[in-house]
Chains A and B, each alone.
Chain A
């Protein structure tokens, strides 16, 4: 099975304020969108970030072929333990996940 990043147009992550992280998966086409909706569970995404699945918000937006996840930031932006001020590198971790 392919990695997420190989079947979609782009995976983008950004801060949504200092306390939330949001990840936009631009699937590009309706078939890729269906494949992501089907093959990427909220639990799987949560496990990548060592988060509890119930803390994640999941949005499936067919008009844009986008699947979006928002979660409490794994570490608060800019805290001593934070490694990425803008939250943009988290996308790389998700794009390497294998779809079911």
Chain B
């Protein structure tokens, strides 16, 4: 049997300390936590940074490093620093060394890096080793060369290699959410279907149970299945909460693709062992013919400045769309005239908050609001240009009248200066897998010591 303790769905989301203590008392074989995902958007990958505060990360990681020392088992984090680039791995490594110094811990640290060289990936593309997944954007060699960061998602093989070094702490770059949990049961030769399925159920911590914010969950893997035990006293896993977790952020609730194969849970059986524990059997792992890892890449899509204005005057609220459309037309023309650039070299968008900012043309409701927030978004090829255009837009948002006859209106600006530079905006440009002849080909493993 292998017992995996999962403190929460991600480092930075916090965990219940009492529940973690209960988990430690259960003598886990490993502590595994995820450090990121693409869910917060492409900027983190684009810049190679974490979305969570350093202070929050440090407090939570310190708690886990103390727990590891007491338990005497490995602590592994996947997708360090939200995006799992080498820069994010180094950021967490720095925090780890700082904490180790404070706690006077002597450590063996394995660092698994997932960042890719643009040139290598462009070459793999030219050699037909990149394969598009469903709804992948069109790419070219140039797209790959333009990415500010490309990462490959490590699977269980790479995490196993890191575990085999005997490290106390494993800091992994981008990995699949499940790999850090599935690796040890797979290394011990336990049921592969159960290893991946249990990992998927546990990857978001206690989200597979009631009171999901308690975070801590324990998964016991064996030869035939796995058992889910939430660690907070207020948290219960039921066949419903556990099986329903396969729906979560998964486009197919029965199939999950991983490096080297896929998990099929269509024949899985979920049995309540008591009020809070569930046993799952019947999950299948189907090995693929070729070994692939998924890639993620981000490119700069432009630079932005934003402004916010508020409409409260009844007539302007009622005619907000007409007002906004007129501003967009007139301001676009003024930018073309004054800056000597083409209309397709920049974009001005006015989203009307309170009217249709969530869905735009897909909005079905037409209730009359009493006020409207105007979110003005300027996108251009450089930040200087975006700022310049935002400043040309400023007087329109402040004073633009519905008709030329009326007295000049003035609208509410909550900020001075009114325009806010957002810097580079990024877009995800890869939904592809990379074919590898050896799982370690796209990754590097380094063993460091501290103290």
Which residues of A does B touch, CB under 8 Å?
A: 14-20, 22, 24, 26, 48-50, 57, 59, 61, 63-64, 66, 68, 70, 72-74, 76-80, 83-86, 89-90, 92-93, 96
A80 and B301 contacting across the interface, CB-CB below 8 Å: yes
Type the 1/0 row for B303-328, where 1 means its CB is closer than 8 Å to any CB of A: 01000000000000000000000000
Residues of B within 8 A of A72 (CB): 134-135
A16 and B251 contacting across the interface, CB-CB below 8 Å: yes
Residue from B41, B249, B357, B428 within 8 A of A22 (CB atoms): B249
Residues of B within 8 A of A66 (CB): 244, 247, 253
A19 and B249 contacting across the interface, CB-CB below 8 Å: no
Residue from B243, B249, B427 within 8 A of A76 (CB atoms): B427
Residues of A within 8 A of B243 (CB): 63-64
Residues of A within 8 A of B244 (CB): 26, 64, 66
| Chain B: number of interface residues, binned into ranges | 35 or more
B136 and A19 contacting across the interface, CB-CB below 8 Å: yes
B362 and A18 contacting across the interface, CB-CB below 8 Å: no
B302, CB-defined interface residue at 8 Å:
yes
Residues of A within 8 A of B254 (CB): 59
C-alpha gap A43/B372 in the complex (Å): 33
Chain A residue nearest in CB terms to B363 = A93
10 A-B residue pairs with CB within 8 Å: A17-B251, A19-B431, A57-B251, A61-B253, A64-B243, A64-B247, A66-B247, A77-B42, A78-B428, A85-B39
C-alpha gap A93/B356 in the complex (Å): 11
Residues of A within 8 A of B363 (CB): 93
Residues of A within 8 A of B248 (CB): 14, 24
The distance from the CB of A3 to the nearest CB of chain B, in whole angstroms, is 11
Instruction: Given contacts A18-B42, A73-B135, list 14 more A-B pairs with CB under 8 A.
Output: A14-B249, A15-B38, A15-B39, A17-B251, A24-B248, A48-B362, A63-B243, A64-B240, A66-B244, A78-B41, A78-B428, A80-B427, A83-B358, A93-B364
Chain B residue nearest in CB terms to A90 = B359
The distance from the CB of A54 to the nearest CB of chain B, in whole angstroms, is 13
B431 and A17 contacting across the interface, CB-CB below 8 Å: yes
Which residues of B does A touch, CB under 8 Å?
A: 38-43, 133-137, 240, 243-244, 247-254, 301-302, 304, 347, 351, 357-365, 377, 379, 425-428, 431
C-alpha gap A63/B252 in the complex (Å): 16
Query: How many A-B contacts if CB must be within 8 Å?
Result: 107
A24 and B247 contacting across the interface, CB-CB below 8 Å: yes
Chain A residue nearest in CB terms to B347 = A80
Residue from B40, B41, B135, B358 within 8 A of A19 (CB atoms): B135
Residues of A within 8 A of B250 (CB): 16, 22
B249 and A85 contacting across the interface, CB-CB below 8 Å: no
Residue from A22, A80, A86 within 8 A of B425 (CB atoms): A80
Residues of A within 8 A of B360 (CB): 83
Given the known interface contacts A24-B247, A63-B243, A77-B428, the answer about A68 and B253 at a Cβ–Cβ threshold of 8 Å is yes
Residues of B within 8 A of A83 (CB): 351, 357-360
Residue from B304, B362, B427 within 8 A of A79 (CB atoms): B427
C-alpha gap A48/B428 in the complex (Å): 25
Residue from A19, A48, A49, A59 within 8 A of B253 (CB atoms): A59
Residues of A within 8 A of B425 (CB): 80
A78 and B431 contacting across the interface, CB-CB below 8 Å: no
Given the known interface contacts A78-B427, A80-B425, the answer about A22 and B362 at a Cβ–Cβ threshold of 8 Å is no
